[in-house]
Structure 1
């Protein structure tokens, strides 16, 4: 009697295990549902480009939800645009794309690669965008320059929020390109960045390629204007310890 009960328990266990495998799908059928909510969410979320160099077009396209209608170069993404890969920095303001197009940045002018600050400007652009995904934005009605290069703006970095031209100017590697085809809003921002950069000893404003401006030096002689009053003869002033016959940043000068 004991052996019969034992064999009955074993048979019952085998039947239960077989039924569980049939229900859970652990048989020869290894197919999975074609789509799940998690899979749909994963494909809908656009992933910003990573810092790792890239040589092929990214699978995901970043969608900017900004309401800007005019490209302004501020540190925010801009709607629209074309996601591309930069394969080479030709110089500070010119790059080559994976599809062979050459892009000349609108609104800025960097030194040529073979001039004093040229290698530094080229290296700056290379460090920011070469081998990476960027967003290309066109100015309405603007296409190619006389050399066949596409005139455009480029944004890079997380969420494509950083304008390459503005960064070049702000860090002293380029100047505003007046008389070009960039829009006025963008150019106003570029000029503001230039107004900051020209007082810093960076890029084209650093030795040996140049020197920064001096605060308070409106006449361009390299010193603050209040220093121009030092050692000025003042024969009509009374002699004494306060005057000494000259002005030295005194209130009456």
Structure 2
């Protein structure tokens, strides 16, 4: 009987995203930022609201929370390098694998980039699936509701609580209220 060697695979670590790791030095808006060395990066596949809108300010704040001062991994789409403004076009993920585009598109301030898109068809399909709300750049309406509530106030000196305040419903002064 021949002495057959059994190979045992070495334990693997958590898979790191493929690409180039860089440090974000400044967030420009919800879908672009500057990296160490001065290059600007535009995230492929997403479109955040413009800065002069409420949604644009929200998108930038979100991007700052996720990116500012952090190391990220940039992945290039085959055959795609820079846009007409000279910005690098890249997919962006954190060093622990969270995808920035997917994170941003789950909020109202960011939607799928519908222009001349350099992202892959598969990537666009994945983002479209996660874009539950679409992009809305307007400020939310916080005006008071026109709904009126009819509350029957007890007058039996029980600390002026309305009927049902403790039970969630009208109790007509029953002993169990």
TM-score (norm 1): 0.47
Deviation at 1:185, TM superposition (A): 1.1
SS of residue paired to 2:54: coil
C-alpha contact 1:121 1:203 (8 A) present in aligned 2: no
1:140 paired to 2:81: no
Question: Residue 100 of structure 2 corresponds to which residue in structure 1?
Answer: 164
Contact map agreement 1:172 1:205 (CA 8 A) in 2: no
| Of 176, 184, 191, the match for 2:121 | 184
Structure 1 residues 108-140: Cα deviation after superposition (integer angstroms, max 9, x where no partner): 111111223111100000000110111111101
Q: Relative contact order, CA 8 A, sep 6+: which one is greater?
A: 2
Q: Distance in 1 between matches of 2:128 and 2:108?
A: 12
Distance 1:170 1:204 in 2: 14
Structure 1, unaligned runs of 5 or more: 1-62, 66-76, 209-253
How many residue pairs are counted as aligned between the two chains? 128
Mapped to 1, the partners of 2:52 and 2:14 lie a distance apart of 37
User: Counterpart in 2 of 1:121?
Assistant: 59
State the SS of the aligned residue for 1:123: helix
Q: TM-score, normalised by structure 2?
A: 0.66
Residues 134 and 156, structure 1, Cα contact 8 Å, conserved in 2: yes
Q: Higher helix proportion, which one?
A: 1
> Could you tell me whether the CA contact under 8 Å between 2:49 and 2:136 is conserved in 1?
no
Q: Contact 1:109 / 1:174 at 8 angstroms: preserved in 2?
A: yes
Distance 1:203 1:123 in 2: 16
User: What residue number does 1:174 align with?
Assistant: 110
Aligned equivalent of 1:103: 41
Give the CA deviation at 1:98. Answer: 1.0
Distance, in Å, in 2 between the alignment partners of 1:181 and 1:204 is 23
| CA distance in 2 between partners of 1:82 and 1:117 (Å) | 30
Tell me the SS of whatever aligns to 2:78: coil
Larger Rg: 1
Distance in 2 of aligned mates of 1:64 and 1:150: 28
Question: Residue in 1 aligned with 2:170?
Answer: none
Q: Is the 8 A contact 2:55 2:108 kept in 1?
A: no
Give the alignment's Cα RMSD to 1 decimal: 2.1
Q: Structure 1: which 4+ aligned runs deviate by more than 3 Å?
A: 202-206
Structure with the higher strand share, 1 or 2: 2
CA deviation after TM superposition for structure 1 residue 173, in Å: 2.0
Tell which deviates more after alignment, 84-93 or 113-122: 113-122
CA distance in 2: counterparts of 1:162 and 1:154, whole angstroms: 9
Q: Is the contact made by 2:59 and 2:109 (CA closer than 8 Å) also made in structure 1?
A: yes
